[in-house]
């Protein structure tokens, strides 16, 4: 039903902005609660997140909490409740949750290893396509994983390295790195980008914790190290059905710095097909596994987060010889799992970043995911386009390198801005730069995606006794417009919403006028969301402020 144009003029109180409460979208669990008891976690520690800054550090010191990067703290379980309440009393609490256990996405239990010819690389890129020369400035692939073996003969003559100090206790880190970057040196296997700059960032393990001892805290800390090392792409071949706030914050900080995160979709399709994290977080490139005959692997998780696929069955990998379990300790072993599909895509993304520096990181992702080779569905019905089993299809590096830039979606600016917490300073310690502070009108052209980018938030500043007129003009699909004050804690906090415009239809411009009736300038947050029942995930729009 058509609605009249909405223009709301609002009189706003001069009260100071309220202190931030804990972020509703993040976990808010404390020891002893049922939700916390239901997940597998480190029995001795807890995770608490705070708005970054000196005040939070001072509170953390009182409770003996260890800082693990960008407002994330690890604290003894019996101190967690007091620490969280002390932060909450000061308006500094971001989240609190059990230090959940993550699982590596290695071989599928009880699934026999494939003995088919190991020709997976030829299915991704032509042998005649020459990768860019590897230089000290080449994009760095950081593989957050189990500690790898840098002394393996596979790495002779390569730029592969690992952050030292963590013992090599399983084969997973060496195997994933070799799939991505094993050099052309006459030894062993050939990675997707042979000899690429690759860094193994070991995940610290906790003795006595199941699933290899990987915790939520270890994941967040390792991602922070990858960012600090200058990663262009971060590969994560592990995950958990529980959302890890420490991981989430670090990944979004990485996104803000132009890093591309990649994660394995998971190997649990036959065990309930749960959503896995970090793979299911927005903006993470989620990779499923396919078989040698281009079908979805029987174990590969399927959901709306899957972006594309790569081979994940019968993959020859390099492993530490002492940990080679296939009966021949030659340092090579065939493995299955989305663990090995993900680093193929990570290497491809780094390759495209090097070969096409004209593309921004988000458009590099689009070049790789949208040019994937479409394959038939498992039932044999050829339904073209995206599907939840294989995404847009199987990685096709040649197509990603050659697709015309004008055939790709526009750059999506100001990411990550999926909620107020990423823009108002709560997560990153300082508010984002406002897109408008009065004066000349501005226009922002941007994208939405129901799964990968579900909300866009922008900060504007309106001077005292001034107003702003905001428009959202649909270019593809149907977006809505809302305006929030600094008192709001999320885009679902209706008490903090002061204006909205939701006209049904992809040709209807949304418009509001917001007035600051006080004498001092104030920040407001413009929120654009998808609406309507379109079968398309994507939206494109122009935001205008004057």
Query: Does the residue 3 lie in any domain?
Result: no
Q: Do both 226 and 360 map to the same domain?
A: yes
| CATH number of residue 78's parent domain | 3.30.70
Q: What is the pLDDT along the chain (546 residues), one digit of tens a residue?
A: 333 333 333 222 222 233 345 677 788 888 887 555 556 778 889 999 999 999 999 999 999 999 988 889 999 999 999 999 999 999 999 999 988 877 665 433 322 222 346 778 889 999 889 999 999 999 999 999 999 999 999 998 899 999 999 999 989 999 999 999 999 888 889 999 999 999 999 998 766 655 556 889 999 999 999 999 999 999 999 998 989 999 999 999 999 999 999 999 999 999 999 999 999 999 999 999 999 999 999 999 999 999 999 999 999 999 999 999 888 888 999 999 999 999 999 999 999 999 999 999 999 999 999 999 999 766 555 568 899 999 999 999 999 999 999 999 999 999 999 999 999 999 999 999 999 999 999 999 999 998 899 999 999 999 999 999 999 999 999 999 999 999 999 999 999 999 999 998 888 999 999 999 999 999 999 999 999 876 667 889 999 999
323 Cβ contact partners less than 8 Å away, ≥ 6 residues apart: 168, 170, 171
Q: Catalytic residue among 138, 339, 346, 480, which?
A: 339
Take residue 253 and report the two structure tokens written for it. 């900080």
Q: From CA 416, how far away is CA 418, in angstroms rounded?
A: 6
Query: Does the residue 329 lie in any domain?
Result: yes
Question: Among 407, 435, 463, which residue terminates a domain?
Answer: 407
Helices 54-62 and 77-89 pack at an angle, to 10 degrees, of 140
Question: Among 407, 435, 453, which residue terminates a domain?
Answer: 407
Q: Is 20 a catalytic residue?
A: no
Query: Does the residue 27 lie in any domain?
Result: no
Helix (H, G, I), strand (E, B) or coil at 313: coil
Q: From CA 457, how far away is CA 434, in angstroms rounded?
A: 11
Cα→Cα distances 359→258, 373, 409, 414, 539, Å: 12, 21, 11, 16, 20
Strand order across the 456-462 sheet: 456-462, 522-530, 479-485, 497-501
Take residue 389 and report the two structure tokens written for it. 């089993």
Q: Is 339 a catalytic residue?
A: yes
| CATH number of residue 268's parent domain | 3.40.50.200
Number of domains in the chain: 3
Q: From CA 424, how far away is CA 420, in angstroms rounded?
A: 6
Is the omega angle on the peptide bond into residue 278 within 30 degrees of 0, that is, cis? Answer: yes
Query: Does the residue 328 lie in any domain?
Result: yes
Q: Do both 451 and 533 map to the same domain?
A: yes
Q: Do both 109 and 51 map to the same domain?
A: no
Q: Catalytic residue among 149, 172, 346, 362, which?
A: 172
Q: Is 382 a catalytic residue?
A: no
Take residue 165 and report the two structure tokens written for it. 């100090």
Q: Catalytic residue among 41, 42, 68, 145, which?
A: 145
Take residue 310 and report the two structure tokens written for it. 């790569």
Q: Do both 72 and 206 map to the same domain?
A: no
| CATH number of residue 520's parent domain | 2.60.120.380
Give the domain extent around 189: 103-407
């Amino acid at each position: 039903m058509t609605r009249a144009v909405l223009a709301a003029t609002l009189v706003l109180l001069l009260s100071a902005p309220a202190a931030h409460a804990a972020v509703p979208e993040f976990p808010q669990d404390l020891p002893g609660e049922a939700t916390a008891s239901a997940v597998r976690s480190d029995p001795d520690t807890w995770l608490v997140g705070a708005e970054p800054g000196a005040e939070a550090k001072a509170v953390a010191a009182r409770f003996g909490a260890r800082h693990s990067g960008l407002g994330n703290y690890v604290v003894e379980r019996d101190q967690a409740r007091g620490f969280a309440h002390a932060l909450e009393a000061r308006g500094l609490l971001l989240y609190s949750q059990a230090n959940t256990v993550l699982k590596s996405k290695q071989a599928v239990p009880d699934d026999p290893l494939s003995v088919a010819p190991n020709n997976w690389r030829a299915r991704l890129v032509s042998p005649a396509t020459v990768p860019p020369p590897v230089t000290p400035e080449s994009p760095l692939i950081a593989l957050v994983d189990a500690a790898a073996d840098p002394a393996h003969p596979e790495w002779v003559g390569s730029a592969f390295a690992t952050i030292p100090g963590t013992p090599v206790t399983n084969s997973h880190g060496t195997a994933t790195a070799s799939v991505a970057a094993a050099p052309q040196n006459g030894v062993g296997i050939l990675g997707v980008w042979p000899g690429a700059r690759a860094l193994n960032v070991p995940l610290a393990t906790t003795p006595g914790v199941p699933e290899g001892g990987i915790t939520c805290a270890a994941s967040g800390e390792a991602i922070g190290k990858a960012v600090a090392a200058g990663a262009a792409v971060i590969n994560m071949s592990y995950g958990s059905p529980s959302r890890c706030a420490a991981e989430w914050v670090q990944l979004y900080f990485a996104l803000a710095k132009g890093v591309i995160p990649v994660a394995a979709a998971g190997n649990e399709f036959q065990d309930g097909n749960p959503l896995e994290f970090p793979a299911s977080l927005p903006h993470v490139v989620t990779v499923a596994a396919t078989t040698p005959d281009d079908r979805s692997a029987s174990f590969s998780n399927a959901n709306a987060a899957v972006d594309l696929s790569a081979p994940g069955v019968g993959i020859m990998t390099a492993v530490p010889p002492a940990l080679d379990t296939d009966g021949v300790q030659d340092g090579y072993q065939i493995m299955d799992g989305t663990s090995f599909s993900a680093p193929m895509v990570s290497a491809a993304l780094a390759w495209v970043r090097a070969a096409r520096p004209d593309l921004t990181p988000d458009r590099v992702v689009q070049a790789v995911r949208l040019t994937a080779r479409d394959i038939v569905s498992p039932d044999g019905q050829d339904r073209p386009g995206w599907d939840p089993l294989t995404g847009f299809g199987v990685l096709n590096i040649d197509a990603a390198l050659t697709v015309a830039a004008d055939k790709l979606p526009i750059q999506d600016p100001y990411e990550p801005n999926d909620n107020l917490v990423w823009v108002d300073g709560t997560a990153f310690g300082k508010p984002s730069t406002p897109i408008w502070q009065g004066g000349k009108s501005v226009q922002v052209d941007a994208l939405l995606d129901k799964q990968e980018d579900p909300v866009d938030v922008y900060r504007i500043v309106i001077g005292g006794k001034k107003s702003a007129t905001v428009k959202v003009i649909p270019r593809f699909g149907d977006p809505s417009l809302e305006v929030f004050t600094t008192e709001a804690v999320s885009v679902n906090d209706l008490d903090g919403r002061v204006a909205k415009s939701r006209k049904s239809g992809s040709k209807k411009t949304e418009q509001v006028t917001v007035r600051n009736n006080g004498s001092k300038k104030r920040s407001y947050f413009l929120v654009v969301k998808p609406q309507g029942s379109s079968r398309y995930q994507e939206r494109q729009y122009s935001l205008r402020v004057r």
